[in-house]
Chain A
Amino acid sequence: MDTQGEIVSQSPYQGPGITDVVVIDDEESICEGCRQTLETGGYRSEIARDGIQGLKLVEQSHPRVVLVDLKMQGMNGMEVLTKLSEFDPSIVSIVITGYGSIDSAVETMKIGASDFLTKPFTPEKLLESVNRGMELSQSAREKRVTEGTAQPLRVPEKAPLNKQNVLLNGLEVLGQYYSLGLKERQFFSELKYLESEAEHHAERLGRVEEKEKTVLDIVHDLRLVDNIIQGYGYKKNVLIQILMDIQAELNWLPSHTLKWVSMRLNIPYANIYSIVNFYNVFNLEPRGDHIIEICMGTACHVRGAAGLMERVSSLLGVQPGETDSEMLFTLKSVRCMGCCALAPVMKIDEQYNSNPKVSDLKKRFDNYMGKEESS
């Protein structure tokens, strides 16, 4: 993994339970409208009806973007903006204004607002502005790290994945987030999550341990998941496609990615697990570098697919559905690839072979093994 040993803080991600946006407005209809629109855009939002309450909320949940109404009872928008920039300059604030005059807009920009929305605004307009704000906040956080405002931590050189190391690394990563403004409550929920992950990996995935998967890789995986989910616009009904995309990238579905999907899309983990279990495509175990598929369609069966499976299985010393100890080959049976003319057909890494001879297979497998050893 090339991310190892790099500065951790360059891959900050959003932890679970973090509020993305806080909306501060004294008009209930505006608040509710914003909340719904933001939800469809995949953002978690919280609502405050006046400035004081709003700032409290910001302090508690540390959002990335804050929407502020300029004209409110009690503490007005200008004051809120000033306090906000004092509290954390990386929070991006967007002003909602009913006046829409250039003057007040310029004034708010001076004290740190990055954008303003004129009432009435469309849901599209709102999302556009918030999307931009999220990006801004991201780069602001990264900037803080590179400028040294937040002290970057280094994770030790490659460390094998056992519970202790995962926790150790996890603590460092979390320390990083802590320095970036994560609050104590979230810190502990993150920690708890990583702890369960560490246990899970150390116990269940002995093989991964050999490959020296570190907690950084896990963080990397989670970011990947986030990107994929974002690409589909946080829609729940594309869950299967999301899972397929994750698998296409990682070659299998590690449990931490599934849990992450569950959190991000707000779908119960049990539902996700049942889907992954139901469809043949998904793998809950890591797969080898070479995927060997043997078609078990009827045409292939009639022409001796079972024998072919026996041969390959005994050559590799691997049962169908399993991966060898070197993580080189995964043997799979597939129900009809639709190439019945080639029956019995076997696919090695996307390449179709019609009834391959054992002598050819031996050469080929030896070749793969030799190559892997020399590299």
Chain B
Amino acid sequence: MIKLNSPHDLEILRESIVSKRDPNRTCVTVCSGTGCLAYGSHDIFREFRLEIEKQRLGEEVDLRRTGCHGFCGRGPLIVIFPEKICYLGAQKEDVADIVSKTIVDKELVDRLLYKDFETGEQITRIDDIPFYKYQKRILLDNNALIDPEKIDDYIAIGGYSAIAKVLFEWNRDDLIKEIKEANLRGRGGGGFPMGVKWETTRNVPVDPKYVIVNADEGDPGAYMDRSLLEGNPHCVLEGLIIGAYAVGSQEGFIYVRDEYPLALENTKIAIETAREYGLLGENILGSGFDFEITIHRGAGAFVSGESSALMNAVEGRVGEPRPKYIHTSVKGLWDRPTCLNNVETWANVPFIVNKGADWFKSIGTENSKGTKIFSLVGKINNTGLVEVPMGTTLREIVYHIGGGIPNAKKFKAVQTGGPSGGVLPEDMLDIPVDFDALTEAGSMMGSGGMIVMDENTCMVDTARYYIEFLAHESCGKCIPCREGLRQMLRILNSITRGVGKEGDIELLEELGEMMQEASLCALGKTAPNPVLSTIRHFRDEYEAHINEARCPAGVCKELIIYHINPEDCLRCGLCEKNCPTNAISKDEDEVYVINQESCIKCGSCMSVCPEKANAIVVENAFRPPFANDLPKTDVAATTIYST
């Protein structure tokens, strides 16, 4: 590789890469994000290579492995350029068909095309699929165009030109002014303006200064940072280098979760290749600016995603937060000024530099500019990563892009903001999604997890789930958080077991307010949110659990029993085969029954029962009022049922 010594060299390199590529040439792209890899996209890619070789098409067809396309629910994704034909859910066996039909004969393989849920209409082009049509993909768009392991692909689409611009045409003040003007707010949860952070760090008269990419995406149910780092790591690097230049830092860190091996690998490759080109290291592009990046692997702790905790972890210590009377922008890593932002925020920077603050400001709402990536998951038809302008309503996201709730179930709520956020019920579907509106509605933006829940999701169980998560992740340093969570979990456990007491709801509310007031860091201050917001919107579910020992959604396993309806049962025996405890057997009338003694209520039978039969029913385990007086172990639902 040649070392680039000036913006001119970069331009020449770009031209030479582009000149070798014909935009009208057929190019097959296979998504290689973690989701699609799990569906077997690696085998598909290999099969394509063999098939193209076999049919001697190597001269006419390009094959490319790309980053995550976002439509993970329907993977593996194959997009054929220049027509942008999109095939969903293809298997290895379909490859020969795709090559001979679509590539050679220019015909479509109908069975792999997207079909509309309602009309059944087939859609050919990826951009016309509703999931993509209603999005505004700025950050994610490039994922589908480039091979994350190849820096040339990124340079071909204009990559690293923002660095050239910043280093040679702008001074540091211009740059910070532009980012401030764009009002880019941190995408990691807090929504703090990035430009202000940069300015603070820059103005502290202490050296060295550090910049950090926070890729410790601990929020369960959110994976946009993973997708960006996996699919387009150079964009994040470029943003980080620009930020480093702005604040005057020469050393940066990328803190990646250990659960994301592919992101780690691709980032490593990106750093190496960028260094070989002279886009990283000493004297970047001949400008005299030096900058180095080190990758730091996280070791799996939610609280380590908090900025001061993350810095502790980079220093090789326990990743616990510390009080932030002095901002990390002033005293961060090794007590030096440190500018930390999350992956998505850094990835926005090159776009703002290239297209200007005015362009960025034209997208979004008054106080929340630009686009935001959400991971739309849970009980939703189109699972995947969704990038929309700030201010798009939840209804648009859930129904237009997400295609609504599967199996004709009823929508119940959307949970945003992860364990620090809250739930938004149906009557809040029309609020515009931005930082302020979500906070006002009692939830928060968080890093962008959006978990859709239907009528079969129990809200008390959801609250219990989050509190269990947080109780495990709390570092235990301050008492309000540690003890508050422990007590909350104890109360929620008893409610979901049907032994809740009157006054429990009020006690939860009181505990929650105390924690919000008195906890040390953001984890503790926001920890009661899942409980408080479910109480606010779904108090009736709490009351049903406490007063009637009934779980309306049929989830809490101490309160339900599974039962096979003999009239609907097809006698196929699938449930028997799939019962982990062998609790299902035939009785003398050849009807399958569940032995309640050995049933562990895992729901396996329900998930395998053929759709046309739907013979497994969940019933409330009736519990007489006097059960309150019995010791806990004796109120097992099964005993009551068998009498």
Contact = CB atoms under 8 A, between A and B. Distances in A.
Interface of A: 236-241, 243-244, 271, 274-275, 278-282, 296-299, 301-304, 307-308, 310-312, 314-315, 334-343, 345, 352-355, 357-359
Contacts of A271: 317
A279 B216 CA distance: 13
B221 A299 contact: yes
Contacts of B600: 310-311, 314
Interface of B: 34-35, 37-39, 72-73, 75, 217-223, 226, 258-260, 296-297, 299-302, 304, 313-320, 375, 377-379, 383-384, 415, 418, 449, 451-453, 457, 462, 465-466, 469, 475, 577-581, 600-604, 607-608
B300 A280 contact: yes
Contact of B220 (A297, A304, A308): A297
Contact of A282 (B219, B299, B315): B299
B578 A359 contact: yes
B414 to A, nearest CB: 11
B383 to A, nearest CB: 4
Contacts of B378: 298-299, 302-303, 340, 343
Contacts of A238: 316
B318 A358 contact: no
A335 B379 contact: no
23 contacts: A240-B296, A271-B317, A278-B301, A279-B301, A296-B220, A298-B418, A301-B462, A308-B602, A310-B580, A314-B581, A314-B600, A336-B217, A336-B218, A336-B221, A339-B72, A341-B383, A342-B72, A343-B378, A343-B383, A357-B578, A357-B608, A358-B580, A359-B577
A311 B220 contact: no
A318 to B, nearest CB: 12
Given A298-B415, A302-B379, A358-B579, A340 B602 contact: no
A308 B607 CA distance: 10
A298 B297 CA distance: 23
Contacts of B75: 341
Contacts of B579: 358
Given A336-B219, A352-B38, A358-B579, 15 more contacts: A238-B316, A240-B313, A278-B301, A280-B300, A296-B220, A297-B220, A314-B600, A314-B602, A336-B218, A336-B222, A338-B223, A339-B34, A339-B35, A354-B38, A355-B607
Given A308-B602, A310-B601, A339 B38 contact: yes
B474 to A, nearest CB: 11
Contact of B302 (A312, A335, A339): A335
Contact of A297 (B221, B300, B320, B601): B221
Contact of A281 (B258, B384, B418): B258
A368 B609 CA distance: 27
A340 B221 contact: yes
B317 A275 contact: yes
Contacts of A278: 301, 318-320, 475
B535 to A, nearest CB: 18
Given A279-B299, A335-B469, A340 B316 contact: no
Contacts of B259: 334, 336-338
Given A278-B319, A279-B319, A298-B451, A315 B72 contact: no
Contact of B451 (A239, A302, A358): A302
Contact of B449 (A298, A334, A342, A354): A298
Max chain A C-beta neighbours (<10 A), residue from B218, B313, B320, B475: B313
B316 A342 contact: no
A237 B602 contact: no
Contacts of B222: 336, 338
Nearest to A358: B578
Contacts of A280: 299-301
Contact of A314 (B220, B226, B317, B580): B580
Nearest to A302: B378
Most buried by A among B218, B457, B475, B603: B603
A338 B226 contact: yes
Contacts of A358: 577-580, 604, 608
Contacts of A315: 580
B465 A298 contact: yes
Given A335-B220, A339-B72, A343-B377, A311 B602 contact: yes
Nearest to A265: B316
A239 B319 contact: no
A342 B469 CA distance: 21
A335 B577 CA distance: 30
Given A278-B301, A298-B449, A310 B375 contact: no
Contacts of B221: 297-299, 336, 340
A336 B297 contact: no
Given A237-B315, A302-B453, A338-B260, A307 B604 contact: yes
A274 B320 CA distance: 11
Pick from A239, A345, A352 the residue with the most CB of B within 10 Å. Answer: A352
B391 to A, nearest CB: 24
A299 B314 contact: no
A39 to B, nearest CB: 18
Contacts of A239: 316-317
Given A280-B301, A281-B299, A299 B377 contact: yes
Nearest to B261: A350
Contacts of A243: 299
Contacts of B580: 310-312, 314-315, 358
Contacts of A311: 580, 600, 602, 604
B384 A302 contact: no
A312 B600 CA distance: 12
B245 to A, nearest CB: 25
Contacts of B469: 296, 335
Contacts of B297: 240-241, 244
A244 B264 CA distance: 14
Contact of B603 (A274, A304, A342, A354): A304
A180 B462 CA distance: 64
Given A335-B218, A336-B219, A341 B578 contact: no
Nearest to B581: A314
Contacts of B301: 278-280
Contacts of A341: 35, 72-73, 75, 377, 383-384
